[in-house]
Structure 1
């Protein structure tokens, strides 16, 4: 008997799909099918013409740290991706002029903060929340409730919620504040603890020199001839012999041994034939929020006081809506004489003559129903030849996208040239050693 390489389709060319295909390139006949004309997903670098100078700026994935992104760290090292240190400072500004920044000096950006009972009370509640959350985490006593219920049960004020915790969560998960209240508190606290957000000593954050497209270029260089863009898939359905058929717009049909859906959950559900009813049922409660990102140079979308500027800036409008502005000069070490910002969902868009581009992103939302759906999908991995992966299957961040892609690819016989950090190990398909018809 001779072995036959598996035919595997990866649908989606974000970090999850590209890394999975890269892992499978030597053990399977793998092809990546991407709907857009661009590869990389949220790893998206654009070139800004800034008064005649070309400046690369990331508008999606921006930074990582070695503690919480072990697979990304391993992949960057293997690919020879050059990185530089950055910081993750945080600021809040409201229409009354109340502003503070997580930098030591920025805490008192408004001198009144030194004696303001509201601000001093906020600091006190931050300390109380961090202490309580870490105590509950260590004792294993965090209840299975929403963040709102946890805050209510422990008497945290509205000022603490709107002045710190909800803006912080909205900035981290690119989610409206009201959506943060539904977040399962156990996952919320675990994330804060993992990222040392409840401690004084925090990990060093890094960003890719030249933009995240540099790692995408290296991944795709190893996948030459296996990448297809502009592929609009109409349906994915069962075929004979346990295979899977992918039908594109226009009628083109191809059959594969396995299909990895490395796209958003709602997109995966739309493509899957009703025959995959268990997968569709598990995908249904996983929702996404639409976010509009503006790349611009409008200073009005930053805190009023320059001393309160941070890497991440949450601005609350008069209508109590919030937006987040990322100071790209600080995050990506861009010269400060060329102010560059990325603002998500501004209440008032930046001035058109100060705007370089407008971009749309979808980010996952988290609640009890979606958590149950994710758990069901983990149990369904590989059934009927279907796998799923993506940042949304984890905590929504780049590492989760990479990790879930690798978990699926390793189950299908892929290889990784570093010790992968996995949370879920799926039974091996050993497709690469299945028997073939005798020659």
Structure 2
């Protein structure tokens, strides 16, 4: 069937199991880092760089003295905090990756919602930025939004602290759109605060967000301190670019392959065959650390009915990121500039609506320049081509009810047919979720192959990241 080289041996020359990892995002890197020294690893990456949503790009701009300076900026993964990213912070500490404090301020531009048909602009940093447009001090609609924010935080905090289960009749499975209507929240709250905030978090259109179950929003926002006024967690970024942790992990994986898409995975009683262009290789196990739809495509007709049901239930939203220095996309009032700047769709926008965000990287990362450096996700306004540094395509999972239910099916699939799955889509879609999924897949594989005793007991357990051995 294949005119390609074919390795029959199972287990490497060292006697350790051979493990293939598909995908070099955070999940694949976490699995590789955990399995290094325990298995012979091959890391397959279909793209032209390692890291997945960790994508640091070099930019050259004049510094404060006017001298050209080159520095790294992140266009995907950007921030973490001490409360809800314990594994990621532990990984960075273990690898010696420097972090710096970051700003998680948030602004909204709503075309046509301001005075005389202009754009409404506000930011949540402080009272001055909330009322960046001073006319909103006497705008009853704006005050209605602020009142609803307070009420929303109170209601959702109570839901989160109640800790209800996710049984079929649980109110936490109610779609967000129905929840907002039932609770009587205003259109101003929905359009000028809630949907922009959700858009910043999950990078998907408003019609998709309104179908999310309440549980997805409540649990994430509560854990991340987004529905409380005080005691919010401090956010951090990787000083100099997040590719630093990628490079440090890759240093321990000699067999890593860029531009090597896996075409097919064939499974039998003895193990796995991985098919790439012109090559078929034998492995003892595989970690599919890619998006669920990609895993399903690779498995093809060989996917079990259970795998097809679970992997096929998670949808993805494509998003285009443009890295540039055109500050005209930011709010007109600089008082309203924030780290995350949401721009609502114009009433005259054409085509399917997409979430539009402008990340002001100077607020998010310590940069050696004053010129605004921006990543615009699905920009609606024309960006000056002379300011564009690069364009990148990403895909973000859509956490509707079908996806939440699919997550509950995944534990039963792990390890079957020598196959483990990992990805941020198995949690909330964020870096900590991807890391945890990779750690859990590696831990399960370690147990299945009896590799734990090779770690020399308690000393290795103490050196491991949280969650690897329980």
Query: Structure 2 length normalisation: TM-score?
Result: 0.86
1:39 aligns with 2:39: no
Compute the displacement of 1:217 (Å).
1.2
SS of the aligned residue for 2:273 comes to strand
Checking the alignment, whether the CA contact within 8 Å between 2:99 and 2:236 is kept in structure 1 is yes
Compute the displacement of 1:171 (Å).
0.8
1:210 to 237, 240, 246: 240
1:166 aligns with 2:191: no
After TM superposition, what 4+ stretches of structure 1 lie above 4 angstroms from structure 2?
A: none
Q: Distance in 2 between matches of 1:380 and 1:286?
A: 15
> How do residues 31-110 of structure 1 correspond to structure 2 at under 5 angstroms?
31-51=42-62, 52-95=68-111, 96-104=118-126, 105-110=128-133
1:25 to 5, 25, 36: 36
Compute the displacement of 1:336 (Å).
5.3
Checking the alignment, whether the CA contact within 8 Å between 1:237 and 1:273 is kept in structure 2 is no
Checking the alignment, whether the CA contact within 8 Å between 1:57 and 1:211 is kept in structure 2 is yes
Q: Could you report, residue by residue, the CA deviation over 1:350-381 in whole angstroms, capped at 9, with x for unpaired residues? A: 11111111111011111111222222122211
Checking the alignment, whether the CA contact within 8 Å between 1:272 and 1:280 is kept in structure 2 is no
2:466 to 420, 424, 431: 420
Q: Distance in 2 between matches of 1:317 and 1:183?
A: 20
2:359 to 322, 326, 329: 326
Q: Distance in 2 between matches of 1:41 and 1:349?
A: 27
Aligned to 1:300: 328
Q: Distance in 2 between matches of 1:311 and 1:87?
A: 6
Moved more, 108-117 or 135-144: 135-144
Q: Distance in 2 between matches of 1:90 and 1:4?
A: 53
Checking the alignment, whether the CA contact within 8 Å between 2:266 and 2:274 is kept in structure 1 is yes
Aligned to 2:280: 253
**Which ranges of structure 1 fall in alignment gaps of 5 or more residues?**
426-439
2:341 to 313, 324, 343: 313
Q: Distance in 2 between matches of 1:185 and 1:131?
A: 15
Q: Distance in 1 between matches of 2:243 and 2:215?
A: 34
SS of the aligned residue for 1:401 comes to helix
Aligned to 2:20: 9
1:116 aligns with 2:139: yes
Q: Distance in 1 between matches of 2:102 and 2:172?
A: 35
Aligned to 2:374: 341
**Which ranges of structure 2 fall in alignment gaps of 5 or more residues?**
1-13, 63-67, 112-117, 165-170, 447-451, 453-459
Query: Structure 1 length normalisation: TM-score?
Result: 0.92
Compute the displacement of 1:221 (Å).
1.3
Checking the alignment, whether the CA contact within 8 Å between 1:242 and 1:384 is kept in structure 2 is no
Checking the alignment, whether the CA contact within 8 Å between 1:294 and 1:342 is kept in structure 2 is yes
SS of the aligned residue for 1:49 comes to strand
Q: Distance in 1 between matches of 2:426 and 2:238?
A: 24
Aligned to 2:227: 198
Checking the alignment, whether the CA contact within 8 Å between 1:74 and 1:418 is kept in structure 2 is no
1:236 to 259, 262, 265: 265
Checking the alignment, whether the CA contact within 8 Å between 2:321 and 2:378 is kept in structure 1 is yes
Compute the displacement of 1:53 (Å).
2.6
Q: Distance in 1 between matches of 2:133 and 2:344?
A: 16
Q: Distance in 2 between matches of 1:234 and 1:5?
A: 25
Checking the alignment, whether the CA contact within 8 Å between 2:172 and 2:213 is kept in structure 1 is no
Q: CA RMSD in A?
A: 1.8
SS of the aligned residue for 1:272 comes to helix
Q: Could you report, residue by residue, the CA deviation over 1:286-322 in whole angstroms, capped at 9, with x for unpaired residues? A: 1111100011111121011000001000112422655
Q: Distance in 2 between matches of 1:134 and 1:242?
A: 50
Q: Distance in 2 between matches of 1:140 and 1:410?
A: 28
Compute the displacement of 1:335 (Å).
4.2
> How do residues 130-149 of structure 1 correspond to structure 2 at under 5 angstroms?
130-140=153-163, 142-149=171-178
Aligned to 1:150: 179
Aligned to 1:432: none
Checking the alignment, whether the CA contact within 8 Å between 2:144 and 2:186 is kept in structure 1 is no
